[in-house]
Structure 1
Amino acid sequence: MEKYTIGEFAKKVGLTTYTLRYYEQQQLIMPRRDDHQRRYYTDEDVKWLGFLICLKNTGMTMSEIGEYVQLRSQGDKTMEARKNLLAVVKKRSDDQIKDMQANLKVVKHKIDWYNGKMDCSIDQDEDFESYLARFNN
């Protein structure tokens, strides 16, 4: 089993040692200790932290991640609660993605409007709101 110091682990997962200590303080990760009480991490910790980062990147709050970790520590009897928590996060993420896609659509139209203004394929008197109205009907 490969053992990583906190510095090696930080480099491996792309986080600072400060962040890792914070996650430890929040009980999101639990490093093992060697005979000299120095913390060390393993490849299992790399996988676990990768999953936590995935959760964080979905927009899951630190308190929700903490709740998930707490539920996980209680074993299989909490699977339903964990699944429900992930479903809430998934719905929120899906809604954010939908909003982002709508915003990107407006940005795409703005780029097209600029292109049309520059190549004279759009009347010089047409403002962006009028141009955008063509697509919102």
Structure 2
Amino acid sequence: MNKYSIGKFATKVGLTTYTLRYYDKQKLIIPKRDENNRRYYDDEDVKWIGFILHLKGTGMLMTEIQEYVELRKQGDSTINQRKQLLQSVRKRSIAEINERKSHLKILSLKIDWYDGKLKYKVNENFEEYIKRFR
């Protein structure tokens, strides 16, 4: 098992040492201590931070991540609660993705409309143009 100083660990996982210390303070990750009381991390911590970053990437709130971490510490008796939390986050994340897709569709239509105005000198206004796609 590899041991990483906070600096090397930060580089390995793509975070700053400041962020790792914040995660430590929030009890999202608990570094181990060597014989000189210096913090270090190992390969399991690399995987764990990777998962935390996936959770963050879904838009999971810090309070939800903290709740998940706390439930995880309690063991398998909390699997149903963790699953429900993740399902809730997934549902919210899918809704946000769908909303973003809707916005991107309008953006793409606007770009196409500009292309028409520039290339073909179309006089149609955007509201008329967009009605054709609804």
Counterpart for residue 135 of structure 1: 133
Counterpart for residue 122 of structure 2: 123
Give me the identity figure in percent: 58
Counterpart for residue 74 of structure 2: 74
Q: Matches of residues 28-47 of structure 1 in structure 2 within 5 Å?
A: 28-47=28-47
User: What is the CA RMSD across the aligned residues, in angstroms?
Assistant: 0.8
Deviation string for 1:65-121 (max 9, x for gaps)?
A: 00000000000000000000000000000000000110110011011101111121x
Counterpart for residue 21 of structure 2: 21
The separation in 2 between residues aligned to 1:53 and 1:114, in whole angstroms, is 38
> How many residues align structurally?
134
Counterpart AA for 2:116: G
Counterpart for residue 63 of structure 1: 63
The separation in 2 between residues aligned to 1:35 and 1:118, in whole angstroms, is 70
Unaligned stretches of 5+ residues in structure 1 = none
Structure 1 residue 123: Cα displacement = 2.8
Unaligned stretches of 5+ residues in structure 2 = none
Counterpart AA for 2:60: M
SS in 2 for 1:30: coil
Q: List, as ranges, runs of 4+ consecutive aligned residues in structure 1 with deviation greater than 3 Å.
A: none
With normalisation by structure 1, the TM-score equals 0.96
With normalisation by structure 2, the TM-score equals 0.98
The separation in 1 between residues aligned to 2:68 and 2:12, in whole angstroms, is 24
